[in-house]
Amino acid sequence: MSAPTLHTAHPTDAVERARDAADRESWAEAYALLHAHDLHPSRGLTADDLSVLADAAWWSGRTDESVTARLRSHAAFLAAGDHRGAGLAAWWLHYEYASLGRPAAAAGWLHRARHHLEDLPPCPEQCFLAWTDAEEAEQHGDGAAALAAARRMTRLAVRSASPDLVALGRQAESAVLLANGRRAEALALLDDAMCAVTAGELSSMFTGWLYCLALTQCMEAADFGRAVEWTNAAMEWCAPPWTGRPAEPGREAETLATTSLADENPFRGVCRAHRVEVLDLLGAWALAEEEARQACREVPVDCLESAAAAFYAAGDVQRRQGRLDEAAVSYAHAHELGRIPQPGLALLRLAQGRADAAVAGVDLALACQSDPRHDLLGRARLLAARTEVALAVRDVPGASRAAVELDALAGDVPLLRATADTALGSVALAEARPGPALRLLRQALAGWLALRVPYEAAQVRMLLAAADRTAGDEEAARLELAAARAVFERLGAVPDARRAAALLSGGKRRRLPGGLTAREAEVLRLVAGGGTNKDIAHALVISEHTVSRHLNNIFAKLGVGSRSAATAYAYAHDLL
């Protein structure tokens, strides 16, 4: 990227204006001024000015220049004997190298940061070391050490009187508490930190950090209400045009001339990827898919895991809409960027009639999850998929084990509770226990409706219809099926809508002609509607081999030898 052109100014005046721009967080303006000044060998930048140049380059999307400027600032601080400045510069280099996927360089600079800062009296810069200590201890499963480090960070932050560091310290402590099952304490601290964020009390870097950290934390903890609220706030904060803090009166034209990159908030793509997950649950699928594409374009190179999450979410939308080939491509992109695309890929394989692959995929994903405490929602989704896949292959004991684990995980967290009740209800239905199935599924439906999550609510209605029919209540079954079908059609969930329609048609008569079973009648209706074996397999979530077996039985029972003759029979006997 080329730097914006500025009018020639006195060197000292240009640096002062750059510092002023940095104070206003007008980063493109600060970058242009300092970059132009730095091009002249006779002009030097102080260590502090080089730090500002590094920050401005980062905000302007020039990651390599940011690292170079930070290296120079570290050397300048060191030459001046300023260990606090050198330690902070070293920590930032650790952070940037880690984001760029260079762990050896990151580890080296972290070691240098410790060397500079650890023997000093308490100072604000040590907050960053404590933050890193907390994260490393949590990764090693040492919850006590992680909590001690997070609380040390908070104490240092309070002592520094920095709103940025205080908010970040409380978020760090919240994350450790949440990972250790202390949900109420964790969320109280997180709410405190996010008050400072949403009130606009923090600098842009810490605002962006806290939005990203809090949104990840909320989704992993299945706190859907907070995720919705803070996702909306995050997108409002980073919506274009984004120009940092306003220019001083009389400097607006100059600011506009130097902020060609200021509308590129580096946090926007990451926040948008979180929004995709929320929109997916809320049933805004068309917008979710559009936002996923946009997020992939906006995500910076050091945050590719957010692009992976966006591709995965798009794959889920495409799978549920019956666009299976597109879903496979989206899941493959997510995998290329480092995300295990489960349980979506397993459910895709199930829809494709590859039940063995579905079982293997979800089982491997469950086995690879090293510490479920760090992603409760991810674990819950895997267990829910394991229940569904096991029931599809008639492994009721396996489905029951997964549902029981999910029940223990869920507690009273609304999103997890609705997921667990759905799984438990589906198992009870498979075990021919209509009473418990109806109770659990009605609880699940109430949960999904309260959360305003339409697709899962419609899926529960399909299970309720089956339980109602088992209990002999045909009218209730038809009401559930009609409601589910309306939601599926609105969402564009074509396979599910077809299945609901087939079941609605199947409920018109108790006695089927020709000795057909209810499943055979469903297959015949889909044949008469022009469905291929592949279409029917997708609609009924069975394999193409099973469809062929049903067709052979249908032809034999009806005494016909072709699909057209079977279709004629269906019309003649009012089976449509």
Half-sphere exposure at residue 508, Cβ-oriented, CA atoms within 13 angstroms: 13
Q: Which of 359, 381, 361, 257 lies closest to 313, judged by CA?
A: 381
Task: Please give the Cα distance from 8 to 12 (Å, whole number).
Answer: 12
Which tokens in the block code for residue 37? 């000044």
List CB contacts of 160: < 8 A, sequence separation 6 or more.
123, 124, 127, 166
pLDDT, tens digit (0-9, with 9 covering 90-100), for 65-94:
999 999 999 999 999 999 999 999 999 999
Pair 94, 128: CB distance under 8 Å: no
Which tokens in the block code for residue 567? 């279709």
Q: How many CB atoms lie within 10 A of CB 10?
A: 9
List CB contacts of 312: < 8 A, sequence separation 6 or more.
330, 331, 334, 339, 341, 344
335-340 contacts, C-beta under 8 A, 24 or more apart: 335/308, 337/304, 337/305, 337/307, 337/308, 337/311, 338/304, 338/305, 338/308, 339/305, 339/308, 339/309, 339/311, 339/312, 340/365, 340/368
Task: Please give the Cα distance from 307 to 325 (Å, whole number).
Answer: 20
Torsion of CA 290, 292, 294, 295, to 10 degrees: 160
Note down pLDDT in tens along the chain; length 576 residues.
334 434 444 556 888 999 998 888 888 899 999 998 888 866 788 999 999 999 999 988 888 999 999 999 999 999 999 999 999 999 999 999 998 889 999 999 999 999 999 999 999 999 999 999 999 998 888 989 999 999 999 999 999 999 999 999 999 999 999 988 899 999 999 999 999 999 999 999 999 999 999 999 999 889 999 999 999 999 999 876 554 444 444 443 343 333 333 446 888 888 999 999 999 999 999 999 999 999 988 887 767 888 999 999 999 999 999 999 999 999 999 999 989 999 999 999 988 888 889 999 999 999 987 666 678 899 999 999 999 999 988 899 999 999 999 999 999 999 999 999 999 999 999 999 989 999 999 999 999 999 999 999 999 999 999 999 888 898 999 999 999 999 999 999 998 998 899 888 864 444 678 888 888 888 998 888 788 888 888 788 788 888 889 998 998 888 888 888 788 788 777 676
CA 16 to each of CA 13, 152, 353: distance values in angstroms, whole numbers, following the listed order:
5, 36, 67
Q: How many CB atoms lie within 10 A of CB 179?
A: 22
Q: Which of 40, 58, 45 lies closest to 18, judged by CA?
A: 45
Domains in the chain with CATH codes: 1-118 (1.25.40.10), 121-226 (1.25.40), 453-508 (no CATH), 511-576 (1.10.10.10)
The model's pTM is 0.76
Rounded to 10 deg, the angle between the 126-139 and 143-160 helix axes is 160
Alpha-carbon torsion (268, 270, 276, 281), positive or negative: negative
pLDDT, tens digit (0-9, with 9 covering 90-100), for 482-525:
999 999 999 999 989 988 998 888 644 446 788 888 888 889 98
